Chain A
């Protein structure tokens, strides 16, 4: 087993070790050590994901397969690191590192910080494990780890509203997991193997006439609920606002992407194989999510609920991009996925900074905070510009690619819907900017001060990534997106590459 492959399991071992150590030493040691341990392990993960991408770039084969326990592929569990999972790992670990740095200060308002960091590391374990696994049941187990950690984190503040939101989220999440589990059971009954590549190989030899569409619908319902697509989005507007700000940044930023969109895309493109029917269903759901999310967001006065509704509409953009199943559409979807997790987590971190300073989330109560909180105001401005799709920022480019892909494929209606959605997003974020930061300062917020240093650091760096991401200036981002796009375009060819490399 050459050593280049050995880094793949580290993506799960490091956060797991971090979680167990934090929960072990949490009570005996001073608070600062817990922050250091969590920050170091997140930084290690970030550098590991960048290092992993370099290995992927200059490695001979496009896919790295790691056989856990030394067993041959269909018998044991294998971990697969290819373009798509590389991109997802990079996104998850960037956002996780800055959120972990941010919550060093933000979590002072909550009791029992070691438990928060343990659950945070466990959620990170679940997401990293889900992205790199090559086994369908393993994907379900890590999905459960990330979901249970997020149920507990949403209810971390133990206020009445948060408990109810977390209960609703937990119930809908468990129903979605049981749909996914029934789907896995059907696939196992039909193909009698659990390895994703092996299932794709068997499905291509004997396609189930009625079984494959049924399993596709089950997975669409299960993963669609985790990704908050429109018919299943009811939990998101309650769960995200009531979670602590750093957790709602993680939830909106990466959790609905890895648990929902990544799993949906991996199953539909690489295992079941994308056909015309599935792509039109996905495009339709994406378009509806886009419009419903942004229309509902217009009438919101609670800042975090407004951001949560925008998450639904931006997820709609990404699903629309993937639903097109054309090279340009997939590229747009992937790029928007990366951009959205950056600027949406930045927006939630800003709302957390406002909540930290003023204690309120209601737009009507705030005004003129820009004078007292310049850093938060500017980063919020950058993030609002990029989510609304203003040219120099990254949101514009990814939305442009999706709209061009819609036109290229001849779906003018969807392209129009994307443009309207973008305009409405701009309108509602202008409202946020005006009410929160412009205007004169209210009396009771006379003496509020800027967010503490760690929070400012996280927000500034994320804003810089927003700007750099726009012109694809980030080194290697272009290569990464093209590589991830090829993984999806080869569809069920994924099975031959993985099985080929695993056989060596």
Chain B
């Protein structure tokens, strides 16, 4: 972690707690995405949780940490990559006959690798939503920075 100089971000207590919880939030988001077809939640909810873990980091440690972590165009490129991944899963359906056909075998219900292309779509959407919302927040933060300078 970037050494936390006291000027930026919130107080020390918040920083230490953040250091503990950010990993957990990220893990929880990944869990929600992966178990989308078994338990409630899914690509969207998990993606937003991942975005919130970065936002949490950004709020606690100030914006220079965040910009160091992910620059804006890396975020938007990752997002278009996620979108392309989801579209290619859809095009995969063309092999099986029609646009969005679930071509992979369905496997046994109640198992993690069970619902054909649904877990893959969940991962693609989770990546896209997560990185997209982080990109929004980065743009908002950078704009505010420029505003103070003006």
Chain A residues in contact with chain B, CB under 8 A? 1, 6, 9, 13, 16-17, 20-21, 23-24, 27, 66-70
B80 touches which one: A1, A20, A69, A70 (CB < 8 A)? A20
Docked pose: A67 CA to B76 CA in angstroms: 33
In the complex, which residues of chain B have a beta carbon less than 8 angstroms from the beta carbon of A6? 94
Residue of A nearest to B83 (CB): A20
Known: A23-B76, A27-B73. A9 touches B99 (CB 8 A): yes
Known: A67-B98, A69-B93, A70-B98. A24 touches B87 (CB 8 A): no
In the complex, which residues of chain B have a beta carbon less than 8 angstroms from the beta carbon of A17? 84, 87
B102 to chain A, nearest CB (A): 7
In the complex, which residues of chain B have a beta carbon less than 8 angstroms from the beta carbon of A66? 98-99
Docked pose: A375 CA to B80 CA in angstroms: 40
Residue of B nearest to A67 (CB): B98
B103 to chain A, nearest CB (A): 10
Residue of A nearest to B73 (CB): A27
The reply to whether B99 and A69 form a contact with Cβ atoms under 8 Å apart is yes
In the complex, which residues of chain B have a beta carbon less than 8 angstroms from the beta carbon of A69? 93, 98-102
Docked pose: A66 CA to B94 CA in angstroms: 12
**Chain B interface residue bracket vs A:** 10 to 19
Residue of B nearest to A10 (CB): B99
Docked pose: A16 CA to B87 CA in angstroms: 9
B96 within 8 A of A: yes
Docked pose: A65 CA to B73 CA in angstroms: 40
In the complex, which residues of chain B have a beta carbon less than 8 angstroms from the beta carbon of A24? 77, 80-81, 84
* A-B pairs with beta carbons under 8 Å apart, 20 shown: A1-B97, A9-B99, A13-B87, A13-B91, A16-B87, A17-B84, A20-B80, A20-B84, A20-B87, A24-B84, A27-B73, A66-B98, A67-B98, A68-B98, A68-B99, A69-B93, A69-B98, A69-B101, A70-B97, A70-B98
Docked pose: A70 CA to B76 CA in angstroms: 33
The reply to whether A23 and B101 form a contact with Cβ atoms under 8 Å apart is no
Interface residues in B77-132 (C-beta closer than 8 Å to A) = 77, 80-81, 83-84, 87, 91, 93-94, 96-102
In the complex, which residues of chain B have a beta carbon less than 8 angstroms from the beta carbon of A70? 93, 96-98, 101
Docked pose: A27 CA to B73 CA in angstroms: 9
In the complex, which residues of chain A have a beta carbon less than 8 angstroms from the beta carbon of B96? 70
The reply to whether A23 and B97 form a contact with Cβ atoms under 8 Å apart is no
Given contacts A68-B99, A69-B99, A70-B97, 15 further A-B contacts (CB under 8 A): A9-B99, A13-B91, A16-B87, A17-B84, A20-B80, A20-B87, A24-B77, A24-B80, A24-B84, A67-B98, A69-B93, A69-B101, A70-B93, A70-B98, A70-B101
The reply to whether B98 and A1 form a contact with Cβ atoms under 8 Å apart is yes
The reply to whether B80 and A23 form a contact with Cβ atoms under 8 Å apart is yes
Residue of A nearest to B90 (CB): A13
Docked pose: A21 CA to B87 CA in angstroms: 12
Docked pose: A21 CA to B88 CA in angstroms: 13
In the complex, which residues of chain A have a beta carbon less than 8 angstroms from the beta carbon of B87? 13, 16-17, 20
Residue of B nearest to A16 (CB): B87
In the complex, which residues of chain A have a beta carbon less than 8 angstroms from the beta carbon of B99? 9, 66, 68-69
Residue of A nearest to B79 (CB): A23
Residue of A nearest to B81 (CB): A24
Docked pose: A9 CA to B80 CA in angstroms: 20
Interface residues in B60-87 (C-beta closer than 8 Å to A) = 73, 76-77, 80-81, 83-84, 87
In the complex, which residues of chain A have a beta carbon less than 8 angstroms from the beta carbon of B83? 20
Docked pose: A24 CA to B100 CA in angstroms: 23
In the complex, which residues of chain B have a beta carbon less than 8 angstroms from the beta carbon of A23? 76, 80
Docked pose: A402 CA to B99 CA in angstroms: 41
A472 to chain B, nearest CB (A): 36
Residue of A nearest to B91 (CB): A13
Docked pose: A293 CA to B62 CA in angstroms: 52
Docked pose: A16 CA to B91 CA in angstroms: 12
In the complex, which residues of chain A have a beta carbon less than 8 angstroms from the beta carbon of B76? 23
Residue of B nearest to A12 (CB): B99
A70 to chain B, nearest CB (A): 4
Residue of A nearest to B101 (CB): A70
Residue of B nearest to A27 (CB): B73
In the complex, which residues of chain A have a beta carbon less than 8 angstroms from the beta carbon of B94? 6
In the complex, which residues of chain B have a beta carbon less than 8 angstroms from the beta carbon of A1? 97-98
Per-residue A-contact encoding for B23-34, CB less than 8 Å = 1, 0 else: 000000000000
Docked pose: A9 CA to B101 CA in angstroms: 13
Residue of A nearest to B78 (CB): A24
In the complex, which residues of chain A have a beta carbon less than 8 angstroms from the beta carbon of B81? 24
Known: A13-B91, A27-B73. A68 touches B84 (CB 8 A): no
B77 to chain A, nearest CB (A): 6
A33 to chain B, nearest CB (A): 15
B96 to chain A, nearest CB (A): 7
Docked pose: A4 CA to B94 CA in angstroms: 14
Residue of A nearest to B84 (CB): A20
Residue of A nearest to B87 (CB): A16
